Amino acid sequence: MTDIKEEINKEYTETPEQNPEMESLERPKVQPLDEVLGKPFKVLDDGFIRVIDYMGSDESIVQAARVSYGKGTKKVHEDRGLIRYLMRHHHTTPFEMCEIKFHVRVPMDCWRQWIRHRTANVNEYSTRYSVAIDSAQTTTEDEWRLQSAGNRQGSAGFAENAKGKTLTEKERYLQSLAREIYDERLKMGIAREQARKDLPLSTYTEAYWKVDLHNLLHFLYLRMDSHAQYEIRRYAETIGHEIVAKWCPNVWEAFMDYRINSSHFTRLEMEVLTAMTQGDKQKVIELGKSFNWLNDKGEAKKNRERIEFEDKLATLGLKAPW
Ligand SMILES: Cc1cc2nc3c(=O)[nH]c(=O)nc-3n(C[C@H](O)[C@H](O)[C@H](O)COP(=O)(O)OP(=O)(O)OC[C@H]3O[C@@H](n4cnc5c(N)ncnc54)[C@H](O)[C@@H]3O)c2cc1C
């Protein structure tokens, strides 16, 4: 019987030259990402995001996916095909093999949304320990968004310029007064942890944020979406288009094709679509009524699911069938 200790020892002392089966490894490097390492991408008026470090690349994902049958990377087009397959079929763990660490500067209201993503590792600037960053996100006259009538969480259109001008002036006054009082409290010896309590949510904070690629894509999927708030969307778009696209181009391409620019149809929607393609208008109306999308007269009711379905039809160039 082979001595197990001997086997283990052999495995760890052999060099690739002694055993050609062993891969000789170099740390994966991605030149386009290395070129922007540490460089801040400006976001909003005084925010930024920069890459501090990263681990892995497109190839690491392929390598992890193929480990089950002990093969390394293959030809470039086969690697791309495998990544696209993994993305299409939600085989997510190979994407967790890549990690990235960012340094971000974000207004506190935006950070409050960001920090809800629990699958990252975070260290935030402490305003108990240090004086709060002397910068707050400002809004120009033409940037005041109006409350959306259709979506309670969203905005639609902009306030007229005269209103915008007043709002911007008042914002400037509020931010400078809040800062003045904060600085005054510090000068009077008040503890930083208490002095900060009236600083506005527009105050910038900074953090180190480390996340794996799978969870980063999940963040981007939610925060690049048109339903996400404009401010966090700007950060997500910068991460996606300026950073992930350089870091893992094949993953980015597959993500755009199979997540961002794709659509998912539910069982209910499929049934209506099938009736539509069969030209069965009566069935379409019956289904609409049974799903509570239409009233007894077959007219559209106020129903979010129906509206979402109609939006999907519109992306296919199809009109609502009722
Ligand atoms: C447009 C929009 C509007 C929103 N509105 C609100 C709102 O009004 N109020 C509000 O409170 N939040 C709101 N959120 C936040 C939202 O509910 C999520 O908390 C946030 O998007 C983080 O998503 P997540 O939990 O999927 O991500 P992560 O925390 O990054 O988690 C990623 C995935 O890991 C898994 N996971 C992580 N932790 C756990 C756990 N403890 N248990 C089980 N599974 C886990 C889940 O599958 C999860 O999807 C909103 C988000 C968006 C995008």
Q: Give helix 281-290 / helix 267-277 axis angle, nearest 10°.
A: 160
Between the CA of 222 and the centroid of ligand 1 the distance, in Å, is 9
In ligand 1, the atom with minimum distance to the C-alpha of 227 is 1
Determine contact, residues 307/292, Cβ cutoff 8 Å.
Answer: no
With a 6 Å cutoff on the Cβ, whether 138 touches ligand 1 is no
With a 6 Å cutoff on the Cβ, whether 218 touches ligand 1 is yes
> What domains lie within the chain, and their CATH numbers?
26-127+204-260 (3.30.1360.170), 141-198 (no CATH), 267-315 (no CATH)
Among 223, 233, 267, 306, the active-site one is 223
Which residue shows structure tokens 């181009």? 249
With a 6 Å cutoff on the Cβ, whether 92 touches ligand 1 is no
Please choose from 90, 111, 222, 223 the residue to mutate so as to test ligand 1's pocket, defined by most ligand atoms within 8 A of CB.
222
Between the CA of 219 and the centroid of ligand 1 the distance, in Å, is 9
The model's pTM is: 0.90
Query: For residue 71, what pLDDT is reported?
Result: 55
- Scored b (16 or more CB within 10 A) or e, 238-275 reads bbbebbbbbbbbbbbbbbbebbeeeeeeeebbebbbeb
223 catalytically annotated: yes
Query: For residue 26, what pLDDT is reported?
Result: 78
DSSP-derived pairing of the beta strands 145-147 and 155-158: antiparallel
| Cα gap 229→231, rounded to integer Å | 6
Query: For residue 3, what pLDDT is reported?
Result: 62
Q: Per residue in 108-137, pLDDT tens? A: 999 999 999 999 999 999 999 999 999 999
Pull the structure tokens for residue 55. Answer: 């681990």
Query: For residue 159, what pLDDT is reported?
Result: 86
| Cα gap 157→150, rounded to integer Å | 12
Bridge partners of 50, per DSSP, are: 103
With a 6 Å cutoff on the Cβ, whether 300 touches ligand 1 is no
Around Cβ 121, how many Cβ atoms within 10 Å?
A: 11
Q: Per residue in 300-313, pLDDT tens? A: 999 999 999 999 99
Pull the structure tokens for residue 250. Answer: 């094949």
Q: Per residue in 139-183, pLDDT tens? A: 999 999 988 887 777 888 888 989 999 999 999 999 999 999 999
Instruction: Report mean pLDDT in 10-residue bins for the chain, 322 residues.
Output: 56 65 78 97 98 96 77 66 96 96 98 98 96 97 88 81 94 98 98 98 98 98 95 98 98 98 96 96 96 95 95 95 94
